Amino acid sequence: MNSENNNCASNFAGKVAWAVAVIGAILIVVFLDRQLKKYTAAPPVDAGRAEERSKALAEIHNDEANALDHAGWIDQPHGVVRLKIEDAMKLTEEKWKDPAAARKDLLSRVEKANPPPPPPPKSLYE
């Protein structure tokens, strides 16, 4: 009977230890979660930050408008140019009067702008 009490007491102690470990692990995860949220929280948007963001947005809009309204190089070594919208539309209308030639020209420009990747290096194990 004494061994049954010892077995029951050790079984109960094991369950208590297991429960304490689980609760401790949960508390540690909750603590780490709160600390992570505190360290990674974005600063509040105050007047200075709002002004900085609106200036950045205005600069982005100006750059986009400038890119739409002016020609320029996209990739000069490959000969890729950005055209104004009106010029691009006129050029497209002129080229597509002959669809076969326009398609051939389009495919050649796509191949020129997107060259195939180089072959993979030789493996030492081949």
> What is d(CA 58, CA 52) in angstroms, rounded to the nearest whole number?
10
Condensed to tens digits (0 to 9), the pLDDT of residues 12-54 reads 888 899 999 999 999 999 999 999 999 888 777 788 888 898 9
pLDDT, residue 5, reads 59
Whether this prediction's pTM lies above 0.75 is answered by no
Condensed to tens digits (0 to 9), the pLDDT of residues 59-84 reads 999 999 888 888 888 888 877 788 88
**What are the C-alpha distances in Å from 91 to residues 95, 97, 106, 109?**
6, 10, 12, 14
Mean pLDDT of 113-122: 85
Residue whose C-alpha is closest to residue 112's, from 82, 81, 80: 80
List the domain boundaries for the chain. 1-40, 66-113
Please name the residue that has the structure tokens 């929280």.
Answer: 41
Q: How many CA atoms lie within 13 A of 81 on its CB side?
A: 9
